Amino acid sequence: MSPGHQLWHSRRALACMCIRISGPTSSSACPTCLQTRWSKTFGTRPKRPCLFPMLAQDRIDPLTLKEMLEGIREKAEVPLSVQSLRFLQLELRDMEAFVNQHKSKPIRRQTVITTMATLKKNLADEDAVSCLVLGTENKELLVLDPGAFTILAQMSLPSVPVFLEVSGQFDVEFRLAAACRNGNIYMLRRDSKRPKYCIELSAQPVGLVRVHKILVVGSNQDSLHGFTHKGKKLWTVPMPAAILTMNLLEQQSRGLQAVMAGLANGEVRIYHDKALLNVIRTPDAVTSLCFGRYGREDNTLIMTTRGGGLLIKILKRTAVFVEGGGEAGPPPAQAMKLNVPRKTRLYVDQTLREREAGTAMHRAFQADLYLLRLRAARAYVQALESSLSPVSATAREPLKLHAVVQGLGPTFKLTLHLQNVSAARPIVGLRVCFLYNEVLYALPRAFFKVPMLVPGLSYPLETFVESLSDKGISDIIKVLVLREGQSAPLLSAHINMPVSEGLAAA
């Protein structure tokens, strides 16, 4: 029995389903309206220079037009329109009728979508609004607004994109990875109109998946490659057959992200980095994969096969992927010979010295290590006795304090995040006290009460600090958390205040 049968529930194969999109020639839509809508959205542009309008004004003849179009086709960066290419294929006797038919029509060069992806607009939540990212045949990437479907961003590529991987949010920061037909992967950032990094592959890509901060690329040389976003190659894993499709497996309950690769021999292999987690054997070669929520099941794998079948497998809720469970034996890197450098004279002298004075060197090292441990223990005990730690050391009041300073000055916003880290017991009767230099700073309240702290929640306590000095100096503000009726603080924090830039500029 294959390893995949131990982790997945199988469903009977169903008939393959196909979704067709009505094009401009559909009888249910007006071709002119669809062409106008496409032109407004994807930015089709007239041919440069506009030669057919010159025919309408009788400024050139068809033979001159043919010569000019051939020169544009050889030298211009923008490809010719379909109408111009059709004109170049005609015989001399048919050119006059073709020109009379099309000389008054606008010349447009339509593009074709080659790949699509989604990009979160401003939130990273699962149900947040997403923008559509399109890769087109004219070597461009377009980011569309989710409401009006207008172009929010437009980027150019050296080649036609075939695979896209998107991370981040459009309004904050995002990164695009585009695998193109020239065998390269280009990296683009939010404010870049051109690629920032380029990953040159040794073969054509057949799949692109991002796992955390690693780009996993499948090539037509039957192998998976791992790259960083800056193009550094991390690892390579050979496959037993050609890769047909790739996708991401994300098990959110266990925080697992892995790569699924459908092979031509009927296997679906699941890899975490270069470690094989599981192998699923199917009756036919898998051509597409999708993992996610299906009905009430959060972890469902849906596969379509080359013969038109639909396979559904549900991951068991008690299943645990174990690295190295699919293949036995040492890794291939273990058989590689290391390039060990030659022994130098300095290395030989140091080896002889360690042999002769090894005992004395070890004793000196141990003495320094014991002294370091003693100093660290004394500093830790002193911090606990004086409550200088931002985390409470007592089991009765388990607290954690975190402070954040915002602003440029002279007025700063000071936010204290106080959290009760106990399991189930709330804490009441706490006070917060600020100790500061009254010559440099002024606070509206230097002592106030803290509400009841529910376990597990972080309570923000806000106050404002006004800088009184115009000499560009700063000081430390001490924050003490006290228990009512006790003189010793439960915990404390020292806040290094920034220099007031407002007073310094004035």
Residue 22 has pLDDT above 50, yes or no: no
d(CA 344, CA 372): 34
More confident residue, 189 or 390: 189
Strand ranges (DSSP E) for 252-398? 256-263, 267-272, 275-281, 286-294, 297-305, 309-315
More confident residue, 141 or 331: 141
**Angle formed by the axes of helices 345-356 and 358-385, nearest 10°:** 80
Mean per-residue pLDDT, 469-491: 82
Question: CB count, 10 Å around CB of 47?
Answer: 20
Mean pLDDT estimate for the chain = 79
Per-residue confidence at 100, pLDDT binned at 50, 70, 90?
confident
Mean per-residue pLDDT, 79-106: 77
Mean per-residue pLDDT, 199-205: 88
Coil vs helix vs strand at 78: coil
Residue 410 has pLDDT above 70, yes or no: yes
Per-residue confidence at 42, pLDDT binned at 50, 70, 90?
very low
Q: Are 241 and 268 in contact (CB under 8 A)?
A: no
Sign of the Cα torsion 435, 441, 445, 449 reads: negative
Q: Are 451 and 460 in contact (CB under 8 A)?
A: no
Q: For residue 330, what pLDDT is reported?
A: 56
Amino acid at 467: S
d(CA 258, CA 274): 10
Mean per-residue pLDDT, 83-100: 80
Q: What is the pLDDT of residues 352-388, one digit of tens each?
A: 998 899 899 999 999 999 999 999 998 887 776 665 5
Per-residue confidence at 83, pLDDT binned at 50, 70, 90?
confident
Mean per-residue pLDDT, 305-322: 85
Mean per-residue pLDDT, 94-113: 75
Q: Are 419 and 399 in contact (CB under 8 A)?
A: yes
Residue 99 has pLDDT above 90, yes or no: no
Distance of CA 401 to the CA centre of its chain: 32
The helix (run of H) or strand (run of E) holding residue 282 is: none
Amino acid at 109: R
pTM of the model: 0.50
Residue 46 has pLDDT above 50, yes or no: no
Residue 487 has pLDDT above 90, yes or no: no
Q: For residue 27, what pLDDT is reported?
A: 34
Distance of CA 61 to the CA centre of its chain: 55
Q: What is the DSSP string of 164-189?
A: EEEEEETTTEEEEEEEETTSEEEEEE
Q: For residue 3, what pLDDT is reported?
A: 47
Q: For residue 56, what pLDDT is reported?
A: 58
Q: For residue 154, what pLDDT is reported?
A: 87
Per-residue confidence at 458, pLDDT binned at 50, 70, 90?
confident
Q: For residue 231, what pLDDT is reported?
A: 82
| Residues contacting 459, CB < 8 A, separation 6+ | 417, 418, 419, 450, 451, 453
Per-residue confidence at 488, pLDDT binned at 50, 70, 90?
confident
d(CA 369, CA 68): 83
Q: For residue 17, what pLDDT is reported?
A: 29
More confident residue, 436 or 323: 436
Q: What is the pLDDT of residues 104-143, one digit of tens each?
A: 776 666 778 889 998 888 888 878 888 999 998 888 888 8
Question: CB count, 10 Å around CB of 88?
Answer: 13
d(CA 401, CA 396): 16
Mean per-residue pLDDT, 33-57: 48
Beta bridge partners of 20: none
